[in-house]
Structure formats: C-alpha cells, structure tokens
Structure 1
Amino acid sequence: MSSLSVYHLSSPELPNKVLTHFEDIASTLAEQGVRFDRWQAAAKIQPGASQEDMIAAYQAPIDKLMTERGYLSIDVVSFNSDDPQTAEMRAKFLDEHCHGEDAVRFFVAGRGLFSLHIDDYVYAVLCEKNDLIIVPAGTKYWFDMGEHPHFITIRLCKSPEGFEASFTGDDIASRFPLLED
C-alpha cells in the first residue's frame, strides 16, 4: 500500500503524520508542488513483457502527460535483487540529489521510497505498482529501492540529460528511515 510519512528535520525517528489514503497523499504532496497520481493499464502486462509492451499498456496517460508537460523522452528502468550492482546502485540513489527538470517516475511493478527534502520537512513517499510521482525540478530528494529491490518504472523527461543527477553532498538520508523489505 502506498503511503506518505512526513518528518520534521529535527525528529527523523518519528513522523509528524502518516497517510495511506490516496486522496490524502495526493493533496498533501500537491501542497508542495509534487504530483502523485494512479494509472491503470489498458491491457494486462504479462511477465517478461518488453519495454514497448509496458509503455503501450499505459500509452494513453503517457501521451496525455507528455503533451501537458512537454516531455519528449521515455524509457523503462527495471531493477531486481539479482543484479550484481544492487548494493552500489542502492548507495548511489540514497545520496541526496536533484535534477534540472522534473523527475517523473511511474511504477509498472514493485515499489520504492522517494524521500523529498522540502524546507524543514522530509516527505517519504512509498510508491507501488500504478503510482506516478512527479518531483519538480530542483527538489532535493533520495530514493531507496530496499535491500532486495524489485521495481519497473517508466521515466519521462524533456531530454535525456534530464536524467542526470546533481548531488548535494548532504548526508541527510542517513538520518531517516529506509525502505524495509
């Protein structure tokens, strides 16, 4: 189940609030300029489906979002615990960073924890299958895929360079809860 835990920077061990209802998560994040939405596939996605099949299953909402926001590039990222670079990739994503344009991630399968550092708060968003999150350009965040990752996401951006991360050098992520497997 998707959730949102909101922490004040002064108390990373205890969230101020925890939300599990879609509408509450979406409205709380919208107040911070973050879009949270849910999409349903137009067709069943079979295990082992190609990237093209995954994109085709969500083509209508993808096209709508690309038109609305001017995104031009699309790709699919698939990661699981069988990957020999699991620990290295997890550590990289756990470093606080931002992007020069929106970070758009749609979860086709699996889950991941986006922790957004906005002003004096951290908004920890547990995204699962069918969740879309759009983190505005310049927002500092980190992503935890867990010790035993499994996720497939569709990413959208205006240019391939939009996927490049600028790391802040802040160790803030080490003070907040991680994704529990």
Structure 2
Amino acid sequence: MSRLTVYRDDNPEQVLIDVSSPGEIAEILKPYHIRFERWSSPVTPEKNASPDEVLRVYQPYLDTLMGETGAGSADVVCINADTPNLSELRKKFLSEHTHSEDEVRFFVHGEGLFVLHLRGRVYSVLCTAGDLISVPAGVPHWFDAGLSPDVVALRVFTDKTGWIAQYTGDTIADRFASNF
C-alpha cells in the first residue's frame, strides 16, 4: 500500500504526517509540483515479462504521459536480487541528487521509496504497483529499492540519454536511512 511519511529534515524520529490514501498523498505533494497518481490497468504484465512486453502493455498510458510531459523515451527498469552490481546500484540511488529533467516513474510490480528533501522537510513516499510519481527537475531526492529489492518500473525521459544524476553532496540520506 502506498504511504507518505513526512519528517523534519533535522529529526528522522519526528513524524509530522503519515497518510496512505493516494488522494491525500497527491494533495500533500501538489504544492511542490510533484505528481502522484494511482493508475489502474485492465492488463498487467507478468512479473517476469520482457521490457518490450511491459512497454507494449502500457503504451496507451505512455503515449498520453509522454505527450503531456514532452518526454522523448521510455524504458523499463527491473531491480531484484539477481541485478548485477546491486550494492553499487543501490548506493548510487541512495545518495541525494537532482536531475535536469523531471523524474517520472510508474511502478508495474513491487515497491520503492522515493524520498524528497523539500523546504526543511523529508517526504518519504512508498510507491507500490500502480503508482505514478513525477518529481520536477531540480528537486533533491533519493530512491531506495530496499534491502531485498523486487521492483519493475517504467521510466520516462525527455533527454534520450536516460538517467543522469547531479549529486548534492548532502549526507541527509544517511540520516534518514530506512530498513525498507
């Protein structure tokens, strides 16, 4: 189940907000221009479907989304226990960073934690299968696929070179480490 937990950025123990309704999550994130939606699809590909099959199943959604965002490409990322160089990949995603374009993700299977650092607060968004999140360019964040990852997600890019991070150098992600 999706969940949003908000903390002060100087106190990972103090919960300010904790909600699990997709509508409430969307409303709380909306002032920051973060898009959060729950999609339902009449067809969901098998967990072990090829990336091409996942893209085919979601093509109608992608066409609409890419038209709205001006995105130029989409791909599928699968992160699980068999992912090569998993510990290095996890470390890369767990460091606070920004992007020069919006980061758009749709969770096909599994779950992942998008953590946003906004105006003295940390917004921890647990995204599950069926969730779409779009984080605007320049928003500091990190991503946690978990200690035992098992996630399949669509990624949408404007820049066809794909995922490029600009690391902030802030160690806040270390202070808000999860046991997810």
TM over 0.5: yes
Question: Hey, what's the Cα distance between the residues in 2 that align with 1:71 and 1:117?
Answer: 24
CA distance in 2, matches of 1:73, 1:179: 33
Q: After TM superposition, give the deviation of residue 76 of structure 1 in Å.
A: 0.5
Q: TM-score, normalised by structure 1?
A: 0.94
| Distance across 2 between alignment mates of 1:108 and 1:3 | 17
**Separation of aligned partners in 2, 1:44 and 1:155:** 16
Q: Identity rate of aligned residues, in percent? A: 43
Which residue of the partner structure matches residue 39 of structure 2?
39
Q: Which moved more, 1:77-86 or 1:91-100?
A: 77-86
- Quick check: 98-107 or 79-88, which moved more? 79-88
Worse overlay, 5-14 or 82-91: 82-91
Deviates more, 1:31-40 or 1:102-111: 31-40
Deviates more, 1:32-41 or 1:163-172: 32-41
1:112 and 1:143 in contact (8 A); partners too = yes
Distance 2:132 2:101 in 1: 16
The residue type paired with residue 15 of structure 1 is: V
* Maintained 8 Å contact 1:87/1:147: no
- Opposite residue 49 of structure 2, the aligned amino acid is A
Q: Which residue of 1 aligns with 2:121?
A: 121
1:179, distance to aligned residue in structure 2 (A) = 4.5
Q: Which letter maps to 2:39?
A: W
Match of 2:154 in 1: 154
Q: How does 1:18-167 map to 2 (within 5 A)?
A: 18-167=18-167
Contact 2:47 2:152 in 1 (8 A): no
Query: 1:97-116, CA deviations, whole angstroms, 9 ceiling, x for partnerless residues?
Result: 00000000111111110100
Stretches of 4+ aligned residues off by more than 6 angstroms: none
AA partner of residue 59 (structure 1): Q
Q: 2:141 is aligned with what amino acid?
A: Y
Measured in 1, the distance between the counterparts of 2:25 and 2:18 equals 9
CA distance in 1, matches of 2:84, 2:139: 30
The CA distance in 2 between the partners of 1:44 and 1:154, in whole Å, is 13
Q: Is the 8 A contact 1:42 1:58 kept in 2?
A: no
Once the two structures are TM-superposed, the CA of residue 48 in structure 1 deviates from its matched residue by 2.3
Q: CA RMSD in A?
A: 1.3
Q: Secondary structure at the match of 2:13?
A: coil
CA contact (8 A) 2:44 2:108 kept: no
Q: Aligned pair in 2 of structure 1 residues 118, 86: CA closer, same or farther (>3 Å)?
A: same
Structure 2 match to 1:175: 175
